[in-house]
Amino acid sequence: MRSLDGKVAVITGGNSGIGKATARLFVEQGAQVVITGRRKEALDAAVAEIGIGAVGITGDIADLDHHKQLANEIHWRFGGADIYVANAGVISLAQSSDVTVEAYDQQFAVNTRGLFFSTQALLPVIRDGGSVVLIGSLASRKVLANHAVYAGTKAAIAAFARSWALELKARRIRVNVLSPGPVDTAILGKLGISDEDRPGFARMMADMIPSGRFGEADEIARAALFLASGASSFVNGIDLPVDGGMALV
């Protein structure tokens, strides 16, 4: 028997990177998976790639109305969900002295405010005994250059998880954080790292990571599967680092 047979999972930002890898793995493990994303074309392509078992719903996690619509859609289509992976996020790197109000607000609107209110909206349709996995970041515990605002958005997530783990005790819904280190995904391009510069950047990062390399999206997905499935049935309120040991150095 597959570990997610009969389960319904919702994954925000599921059209690329860690989100898509997690959706693919969850489908392989028997789940019906709903992925969300802002760009319909990218979302449709991801659904086609993942195949039977995946459904896409277009929406922006920063849009609070989207969360209510998503919850209604989940209830109408499936009667509820068992797993919520809050994966969608944005990052904008800058020295604190150079951070603009717009960049600050965007990161908090998506990574923190959006995550909080998406969870609030979805909890009524998550079945008792379900699992919530919040995607955090190594940056919330390790100081990294130019990450002050991003780190702040992710640090709040761990506080949410601890509170929710207690608040949801009566419903037996577990809430955990998964905090990746550097992962080789398309987001590197969004940080201004060109394909030409990527090998050099990878070598530089490898020197900072005891495992000697970037993480892979599939590795983060396997950690998400652990937290989402019955394999972690006695794990609640933790922040699990999946960073190759980078937090140690």
Is residue 88 assigned to a domain? yes
| pLDDT given for residue 1 in this prediction | 75
Share of the chain above pLDDT 90, in %: 80
| pLDDT given for residue 183 in this prediction | 87
49 has pLDDT over 80: yes
Q: Tell me the residue range of the domain where 179 lies.
A: 8-184+216-248
Is 150 among the catalytic positions?
yes
Is residue 136 assigned to a domain? yes
pLDDT in tens, 185-240: 665 555 556 677 667 766 777 788 888 888 899 999 999 999 999 999 999 999 99
Is residue 3 assigned to a domain? no
pLDDT in tens, 155-188: 999 999 999 999 999 999 999 999 999 887 665 5
Q: What is the pTM of this model?
A: 0.93
What is the count of structural domains for the chain? 1
Is residue 236 assigned to a domain? yes
| pLDDT given for residue 44 in this prediction | 95
| pLDDT given for residue 150 in this prediction | 95
Answer yes or no: are the C-beta atoms of 154 and 90 closer than 8 Å.
no
Q: Dihedral of the CA atoms 31, 223, 228, 165 (nearest 10)? A: -160
Is residue 128 assigned to a domain? yes
| Element housing 12 (H / E) | strand 8-12
CATH number of the domain residue 74 falls in: 3.40.50.720
| pLDDT given for residue 182 in this prediction | 87
| pLDDT given for residue 21 in this prediction | 97
- Both tokens of 226, joined, read 């652990």
148 has pLDDT over 70: yes
Answer yes or no: are the C-beta atoms of 185 and 217 closer than 8 Å.
yes
User: Closest Cα partner for 186 from 62, 60, 37?
Assistant: 37
| pLDDT given for residue 6 in this prediction | 95
Answer yes or no: are the C-beta atoms of 205 and 181 closer than 8 Å.
no
Q: In what order do the strands lie in the sheet with 54-58?
A: 54-58, 32-37, 8-12, 81-86, 126-135, 174-180, 239-242
Is residue 195 assigned to a domain? no
Is residue 105 assigned to a domain? yes
Is residue 200 assigned to a domain? no
Out of 26, 150, 160, 214, which one is annotated catalytic?
A: 150
